[in-house]
Structure 1
Amino acid sequence: MDKFIVRGMPEQIARDDLELLSGVETATVGHWRVFGFMDRGIQGLLRGKRVVGTAVTLAIPGPDSTLLHHCIGKLRPGDILVVDRLGDNRHACWGGAVTVAAKAAGAVAGIVDGPCTDIAEIEGSDFPMWCRGLSPITTRLYALGGGFNVPVSCGGVPVLPGDAILADESGVLALPPGDVRDVAREALRRQQVGGAREEQIRQGALLGDLSGASAKISSCA
């Protein structure tokens, strides 16, 4: 069996679908959808970032980032690299040089199911990253193996090459391409309703009355 699996690049999510999704908050989708949300331990390193893009996937083992270095230049504008660390939470595979390379290729973000390093360089590059915090212990070029554009698991979520990714300050959501438009439209509708409700509360309405919670309490009295 080959140590390295390197497959072709996935078809990118339609631009119109990504534009629609870009107005969505992950927490809005979390009001009704239960699938596709990565573990909440994967958090953004940069405040105030929201990104959408096409998942390009990578799986690399513990101390080794050989395949990451090899494939980082294959990324395209609009791609988000999703890295499965195969259970490792000790070694940082992503640092300053990888950040510069990913941004130069046009990628819009990176998501790592493990730690990163070189936070100052990531901030200096203004490159959105989601990961499990920071580590000073880095990977090396051991050529142990790995897979590029293979099905991966990131934050407990299966991610296929070509899936849509929405990431913001609340977390990361992976969506099959065919679900993007319906999910985005429903989320935008709910956000509009939510905005109107918040304005009613500012004007003196009670949240319990608007949400129906107070009626439920009264019916139980």
Structure 2
Amino acid sequence: MHTSSFVRPTARMVEALADVSAATACAKLHQMGITRTFIDGPVPLHREPDVKITGGAVTLQFLPQREDVFSGAEQEDIERKTALWGVLESIRPGDVLVVSAYASHFTGCLGDMLVRYFKLRGGAGIVVDGRVRDAARIRALGVPVWCTGVTPHYASQTELFPSAFNVPVGVGGTLVTPGDLIVADEDGAVVVPQHSAVPLAEDALLHQDREAFARQRLDEGARLSDYYPLTGAGMDEYLASRSAD
């Protein structure tokens, strides 16, 4: 099962969020009244200080196995007829694959071969509410992956099977619909609705600039209460410094 068509975000939306951190995006969305945006659980498989992706979501949904519908006793090659292969064939350059897998400790949602194909199709990164396998090979591919851990199991070996793609999914307690924007970095992954992307980015970049100013003043020995949060005399100093630039 899948949605045959959905609207991917525009290049302007993606570019607007390119320099926005997950923490800032999450905070600004909260201020805009959208409070459930953090995908709880997945962390970067690549522990690098600059790991960051921004792109439109394509989704993959795993469901619990039931023997009369789909059984892990079947061979791994049966998976090529499922949503797992279907979603990979739908990938376009810049897409972020978001996988709903119930935070399973036993299901290896993706491995080396599938992530390799994802990369060759131009995918930007992967967020999995569950585990992956072939971790060393995935790291070597350089595809940014957020997941809850690793396992030696293949996708349908134990308790789940790939059921549908490009449908709304629940991932880490958060709703993700195809075409939503994903911002992910060391702090985790955040969902940004398309209609919020540009206004959020404009406010977020200003917020990050103010924090950069406050951070500099703290490093110079200033009092925390004078510069964080930035208000009063601290804000006046910030505005004056930017006017002089």
What TM-score comes out, normalization by structure 1 length?
Answer: 0.86
3-state DSSP class of the match of 1:60? Answer: strand
Match of 1:67 among 83, 98, 110: 83
Deviations along 1:177-219, whole A, 9 cap, x unmatched?
A: 0011111111111100000111111222111222369xxxxxx
User: By how many angstroms is 1:136 displaced?
Assistant: 1.5
Match of 2:189 among 160, 172, 178: 172
User: By how many angstroms is 1:156 displaced?
Assistant: 0.6
* Contact 2:126–2:144 under 8 Å retained in 1: yes
Deviations along 1:111-154, whole A, 9 cap, x unmatched?
A: 11101111111111100101111111222489966111111001
Q: How does 1:40-79 map to 2 (within 5 A)?
A: 41-46=41-46, 47=48, 48-62=50-64, 66-79=82-95
* Contact 2:95–2:123 under 8 Å retained in 1: yes
Change (3 A) 1:128 1:145: closer
Change (3 A) 1:72 1:145: closer
2:180 equivalent in structure 1: 163
What number of residue pairs does the alignment pair up? Answer: 208
- Structure 2, unmatched stretches of 5+, are 66-71, 73-78, 231-245
Q: Does 1:28 align with 2:34?
A: no
* Contact 1:26–1:166 under 8 Å retained in 2: yes
Structure 1 runs of 4+ off > 6 angstroms? none
- 2: CA distance between counterparts of 1:86 and 1:27? 24
- 2: CA distance between counterparts of 1:168 and 1:37? 12
- 2: CA distance between counterparts of 1:108 and 1:81? 8
User: By how many angstroms is 1:157 displaced?
Assistant: 0.3
- Structure 1, unmatched stretches of 5+, are 214-221
- 1: CA distance between counterparts of 2:229 and 2:200? 25
Deviations along 1:71-94, whole A, 9 cap, x unmatched?
A: 312200011111111453321111
Q: How does 1:192-207 map to 2 (within 5 A)?
A: 192-207=209-224
* Contact 2:86–2:165 under 8 Å retained in 1: no
* Contact 1:166–1:172 under 8 Å retained in 2: yes
What TM-score comes out, normalization by structure 2 length?
Answer: 0.78
1:15 equivalent in structure 2: 11
